Amino acid sequence: MNHIDIELSGLKVKLMEMWDLVEYQLQSGHEAMLTTNQELARKVVKLGKKVNNFDVKIDRMCENLLALYTPVAVDLRLVLATLKINANLERIGDTAEGISMFVQKREVPYNAELMEITKALVMFEEALSMFHDCRVAYKSNNTDLARALLKRDKMLNKIYRKSERIIAAYLRNNPDSIEEGLTILSIIKKLERVGDQITNIAEEIIFYQDAKVVKHKSKKKDKDNDEDKTE
């Protein structure tokens, strides 16, 4: 292996270490929400500093690679994709922290009926599954799996779009649950952002492997379809 290959290999290893940590944060945030485990929630929040350290380290590794080795073609795409994947992983970690901060304030489990009618748990489980599959797509260079993730994000968007109306209707009949309802709505909004960030990562996997830019294309197609339905 030449020097640039060694550096690129080290970059991939560091990115996967960060990916594992963020996946643990997201899984633990899910478990903490289900069980109202405040200790686990605190651990997720505390891990945020470690994720931030990875973020800075990976950015510096990418900058050094660009400055010292002037990579081209697939090597350059790998570095550029890593920069963006790194940023999205850091934001997903922030989301897991945010959800865990809500859990830290809870002493009793979230209302089962409200969680059921909003499909908040279904949404969380799908986000976890998408995040796992995105990691698999990156490790196996599987752009077909990455492209499938772009379509799966529609489910999270659909739940998000309906959530405000569902929660508003519930709170009209249950005014004592306003604080809890608003918290669940905030969690749903955070999970919708996780879906967007996973989609961003999937787009970078496709860019790195196939040298194709698919950013915005799927979003434009969805928008056109929505407009067609309203005509």
What does 126-164 look like in DSSP terms, one character per residue? HHHHHHHHHHHHHHHT-HHHHHHHHHHHHHHHHHHHHHH
E strand or H helix at 74, and its extent? Answer: helix 73-104
As a whole number of angstroms, the distance between CA 219 and CA 228 comes to 14
**Which among 95, 91, 87, 51 is positioned nearest to 190, based on CA atoms?**
95
Q: What is the pLDDT of residue 214?
A: 87
Q: What is the pLDDT of residue 220?
A: 53
pTM across the whole model: 0.91
Q: What is the pLDDT of residue 87?
A: 98
The predicted model gives 109-118 an average pLDDT of 96
**Which among 131, 128, 140 is positioned nearest to 201, based on CA atoms?**
131
Residue 182 has pLDDT above 80, yes or no: yes
231 falls in which pLDDT band (50, 70, 90)? very low
The predicted model gives 95-105 an average pLDDT of 96
Local structure of residue 111 (DSSP, 8 states) = P
The predicted model gives 82-87 an average pLDDT of 98
Residue 191 has pLDDT above 90, yes or no: yes
Q: What is the pLDDT of residue 225?
A: 47
- First CA to last CA across the chain, in angstroms? 58
**What distances in angstroms separate CA 144 from CA 16, 37, 77, 192, one per listed residue?**
20, 37, 18, 22
What residue ranges define each of the domains in the chain, with the CATH number in brackets?
A: 1-109 (1.20.58.220), 111-220 (1.20.58.220)
Read off the pLDDT of residues 14-53 as tens digits, 9 standing for 90 and up.
999 999 999 999 999 999 999 999 999 999 999 999 999 9
Residues constituting the chain: 231
Average pLDDT, the chain: 93
216 falls in which pLDDT band (50, 70, 90)? low
Burial class (CB in 10 A: 0-12, 13-18, 19+), 112: exposed
**Which among 225, 218, 74, 89 is positioned nearest to 148, based on CA atoms?**
218
